[in-house]
Structure 1
Amino acid sequence: MASTIRIISTSTVCAAIHKEPHLKIHLTPWDLHGLLMDTIQRGLVFHKPKPEYDPHQVTLIQKLQKSLSRTLDFFFPLAGRLATIEHGDETVSFFVDCNNAGAEFVHAVADGVSVSDIIEQTYVPDHIVSSFFPLNGKSRNNEVTSKPLLTVQVTELVDGIFIGCTINHAVIDGTYFWHFFNSWSEFSRGFDSLSKPPVLERWFLTYTDSPIRIPFFKKEQLHGTFIPQPLKQRVFHFPAESIAKLKAKANAEIGTHKISSFQLFKHSCLIFGDPLFVINN
């Protein structure tokens, strides 16, 4: 079954407080390596939260937009843009312009798609899930200069919500991706501050010049003609009861109570509750 995606709205979410309007973050050698890779795409699916009385009539989408804006106060590079400096010796430098141009926020509806259509499959149903990421396979990290570094799509299912994020891999790695996602979850749940603020400083080796100049390249030089066969991804669904039992067992074995679901599975993100599972697309 192929899902029919209806785009309800597309908007730009900026940091609520523009802390570093003139900051330029030059990319390290490891960051530059990320230019040759695909973007990071991760998504979580949740059961639809129960409606709560809200005298201000603030919708779930508005709450997510507001909490994302608050999160970008701390992860402000994600609200910037990847930019380049072309030098006269046929070299180019890349940097993140922290101009608070904003992240892209897409609100969509998947008609006729339920949570069970995703989590009860043996393999990730790519014909459904791929439409939950607006940049899925459409761009690489080196192609998104002047475009958002972060794109979020919140897709309403019949009985659930899918939150998919696409982030430029040259700006953030997998660990910081989940740091961002969990920080967003804290603000979404009403936290006034982050339990673990990010460290965004880049470190260069003492003998490395900054900014790093690399030979100027054309797009066709970065893409080979070999197209690998698509790999199937398996679905592993852990009910909340199973996660609770595993967490209790882990804490009992070590004699502590501090091991969280996130530490147990490396991906628990509590925006509305325990996610049903994570898509690494």
Structure 2
Amino acid sequence: MQTITSVAELRRILEKCRSSDQQIGFVPTMGYLHDGHLALIAASQAKCDVTVVSIFVNPTQFGPNEDLSRYPRDFLRDEELCRGQGVAILFAPDAHEAYPSDFETFVEPGDLAKPLCGAFRPGHFRGVATIVCKLFNMVQPDIAFFGQKDFQQCAIVRRMVVDLNLPIEIVIVPTVREQDGLAMSSRNRYLSDEERQQALAISRGLSAALDEFRSGERHVEKLIAVAKKHLKAVDRLEYLELVDSDTLKSADSPLRRPSALCAAAYVGSTRLIDNVILTLPTR
């Protein structure tokens, strides 16, 4: 595995891969890797000849009162995990490499960035879209891999690829969970043992609603009510919404299109997100 910090060196090495017709897979991360990230890497390894993983804690997607300064970091551990997974290139630019001092051009997502997390984190998806677009231009992958846990991010990235004519296939990998159902997240390390148990209310609520859906329930209000019974255990529920999977607009009853039940909640001072996909059976 090669660890690279400059765009110029990254492009030089990847050009050799392209010249030999190797397919390049890309997994963008903010580091502090867990099994969810490793699932993305495994998906890339299965489909591509060369896997590139990036580690960059992107400052433009954090608000002024968010956790940029304390976001978990352990580069040496991440490097060893990537090496153990057979990653070809670990790309770890510093802030200046990603954002030169005179940087002033951003990618502004549209309506997909307004609901859900976008309503509570102004500017967040502007930062996400900008850094993902920049990384796509740096790596120029054939396929990029994202996790379903970041459902709204996935929708925005897919739309950006279409709108900006980027020749990249986007693959969404299902959310990886702990044995008790908690969605894996780098921020889980913030939780105390007691908060860790409290956080299970999120996945249990979403799972209960999914079970009701699979049993035939199609009314939005009833599905949300089922989930909300469990989510009373969190310290603060930021949102619990059932949205159309494509538009992210509020879903209508009865459900006739693929939808997602999405939640964001605080346990202690830690903000966690999760979702389940409600796919209608095909006839």
- Alignment TM-score, normalising by the size of structure 2: 0.28
TM-score, length-scaled by structure 1: 0.29
Structure scoring higher RCO (CA < 8 A, sep ≥ 6) equals: 1
Structure (1/2) with the larger helix percentage: 2
